[in-house]
Amino acid sequence: MRQKNNNELLVKQSVLLKDHSYQIPETGNIGKGLFFGMLISIPLWISFFGWLRIIITFIGK
């Protein structure tokens, strides 16, 4: 990056302020995630097919 006043090249250097040596906590359990995902998705599929059946019934009349 050059400034208007001089032809000197300015280089910005990052400064390390603090050592971030900490442990990342565990984020979860894959079995628990699959279980709760299934609990959410099954009612959504049931409602989808229910609405589809209602719409097909009204179109058929």
Q: What is the mean pLDDT of residues 11-31?
A: 69
Per-residue pLDDT at 12: 65
Q: What is the mean pLDDT of residues 31-41?
A: 91
Give the other-Cβ count within 10 Å of 24's Cβ: 5
Q: Which two tokens stand for residue 4?
A: 């208007």
CA quadruple 16, 19, 21, 24: dihedral sign: negative
Say yes or no to pLDDT of 49 above 90. yes
pTM (predicted TM-score): 0.45
Q: What is the mean pLDDT of residues 4-29?
A: 65
Cα separation, 10 vs 1, in Å, equals 6
First to last CA, the chain: 72
Question: What is the DSSP-derived secondary structure letter of residue 26?
Answer: P
Per-residue pLDDT at 38: 93
